[in-house]
Copies of this chain bind each other. A is one copy, B any other.
Amino acid sequence: MSQSVAPMLAGGRSPLAPASFPDVAPVPGVELTGAAIGLKKGSGAKDLMLVSLAPGTVIAGTLTRSRCPSAPVDWCRRQLPGGRARAIVVNSANANAFTGNAGDRVVDNTVDAAAALFGCPRTEIFVASTGVIGEPVAPRHIGDSLAGLVGRLRPDAWADAAAAIMTTDTFPKAASRQLEIAGRTVTISGIAKGSGMIAPDMATMLAFVFTDAAITAPALQTMAARATDRTFNCITVDSDTSTSDTILLAATGAAGNTPIADHRAKPAAPFAKALEALMTDLAQQVVRDGEGAQKFVTIEVTGAASSRAARRIGLAVANSPLVKTAIAGEDANWGRIVMAVGKAGERADRDRLSIAMGGVTITRDGQLEPAYDETPVAAHLRGREIHIAIDVGVGRGRATVWTCDLTHGYISINADYRS
> Which residues does A use to contact B, with CB under 8 Å?
1-2, 64-69, 97-100, 132-134, 196, 198-201, 203, 238-243, 319-322, 325-326, 328-331, 333-336, 338-348, 350-351, 353, 363, 366-368, 406-408, 410-412, 414-419
Q: Tell me the dominant secondary structure on chain A's binding face.
A: loop
Contact residue among B98, B239, B326, B367 (Cβ-Cβ distance under 8 Å from A415): B326
Please tell me if the beta carbons of A333 and B68 are within 8 angstroms of each other in the complex: no
Q: Which residues of B contact A201 (CB under 8 A)?
A: 333, 335-336
> Known contacts A2-B1, A243-B339, A335-B134; is A328 also within 8 Å of B411 by CB?
yes
Distance, CA A363 to CA B335, complexed state (A): 43
Asked if residues A200 and B69 are in contact (CB atoms below 8 Å), the reply is no
B240–A415 CB distance below 8 A: no
Known: A133-B339, A353-B68, A407-B411. A98 touches B329 (CB 8 A): no
Q: How far is the CB of A129 from chain B (nearest CB, A)?
A: 13
Q: How many monomers of this chain does the complex have?
A: 2
Name A200's closest neighbour in chain B (CB-CB). Answer: B339
**With A67-B350, A100-B366, A331-B418 given, can you name 5 additional A-B contacts, CB distance below 8 Å?**
A133-B339, A239-B320, A243-B339, A321-B321, A331-B417
CA distance A327 to B291 in the complex (A): 17
Closest B residue to A98 using CB positions: B338
Task: Looking at the assembled complex, report how far the CB atom of A342 sits from the nearest CB atom of chain B, in whole angstroms.
Answer: 3
Residues of B with C-beta under 8 A to A363:
98, 134
| Interchain CB contact (< 8 A) of A418 among B1, B2, B196, B333 | B333
Separation of A322 and B195 alpha carbons in the complex (Å): 13
Say whether A200 contacts B338, CB under 8 Å. yes
A231 to chain B, nearest CB (A): 20
A sample of 17 inter-chain contacts (CB < 8 A) reads: A64-B342, A66-B342, A68-B339, A68-B342, A98-B367, A100-B351, A100-B366, A200-B335, A201-B333, A203-B339, A242-B339, A243-B339, A325-B410, A328-B411, A329-B415, A333-B418, A408-B412
Residues on the B chain within 8 Å of A133, using CB: 335-336, 338-339
